[in-house]
Homo-oligomer: A and B are copies of this chain.
Amino acid sequence: MELVTLADIRAAAALIAPAVVRTPLLRFDEGLWLKPEGLQPVGAFKVRGAYHALARLPEDVRARGVVAYSSGNHAQAVAYAAKLFGVPATVVVPDTTPRVKVEATRSHGAEVVEVPPAERESRAHELAASLGATLVPPFDHPDVIAGQGTIGLELVADLPDVATVLVPVSGGGLISGVAAAVKALSPATRVVGVEPELAGDTAASFRARTLTGWPAADRARTVADGLRAEPSPLTFAHVLAHVDDVVTVPEDAIADAVRRLAFRSRLVVEPSGAVPLAAYLASPTPRTAAIVSGGNVDPATFLTLLA
């Protein structure tokens, strides 16, 4: 299987520069730095991969529109990118998606179709076929992976002696790109995936060195609603090639990390984005960077986590 390369990621960085925020590294404590991707236009790193995927489409293909399915942040990212390119977007989201994500997606001008979680992928394929549009998958695509990998480039540029990078894992697009970039630039840096214990399918697969599917109902138990997907063969191949470990954190540690990010680092972070900090706090190591992947949290959920 062909993996995304450093050259792919560098090319992506040039293409996406006009559409993304060059996020700074923020110091959390003596050992930890944060990469606050919630500051992106759609409130999550997903804009990097989505915009890159659209930028790579031939103009006449892109003009026929794009379709996306996602638990929310990818949908917003595709809607945002489509708006920038002036092309139509249709996004299929599970009907369990937080309202804030649905409204934000609509606010970017996309048509939103809410379906039962199990049907979202098939409905997206049907819609793309009927519209003549291009499906932009949330993680299972080299262009999406290369876009997310630009975070790794920025991270190593800003902190060249980084010893450990902690990355949330769901479908694996983020860690695939970040690990490809970081390992190419700094082979001694450890890249560690982090999952909720309640959606620890990739940690189990990593130990088994083969994809061990978990039922969607099991993965849906975690409060980290952005981490309920599972890797594809493509992303898992990147994990096996580049990632040093995949660890898990309990739900109460995720909530605690959300609170600390709010009041110590002044960031509104969704539970999925707080998972790497939870791993760091359980086992602090020097010169560590945590990718705080996004900040799209329902106000009610956020207030409950802070209280």
Report which A residues bind B (CB closer than 8 A): 21-24, 26-27, 36, 38-39, 41, 43, 100, 259, 262-263, 265-269, 295-297, 299, 302-303, 306-307
Question: Taking CB as reference atom, which chain B residue is nearest A296?
Answer: B266
A261 to B262, alpha carbons, bound, how many Å?
Answer: 13
5 more A-B contacts (CB under 8 A) besides A24-B24, A39-B265, A263-B302? A21-B26, A100-B263, A266-B268, A267-B267, A303-B303
A27 touches B39 (CB 8 A): no
Copies in the complex: 2
A303 to B303, alpha carbons, bound, how many Å?
Answer: 7
- Which residues of B sit under 8 angstroms from A295, Cβ to Cβ? 266
A23 touches B24 (CB 8 A): yes
B39 touches A266 (CB 8 A): yes
B36 touches A39 (CB 8 A): yes
A21, A266, A268: residue with the most chain B Cβ atoms closer than 10 Å: A266
Question: Taking CB as reference atom, which chain B residue is nearest A27?
Answer: B41
B307 touches A43 (CB 8 A): no
A41 to B264, alpha carbons, bound, how many Å?
Answer: 10
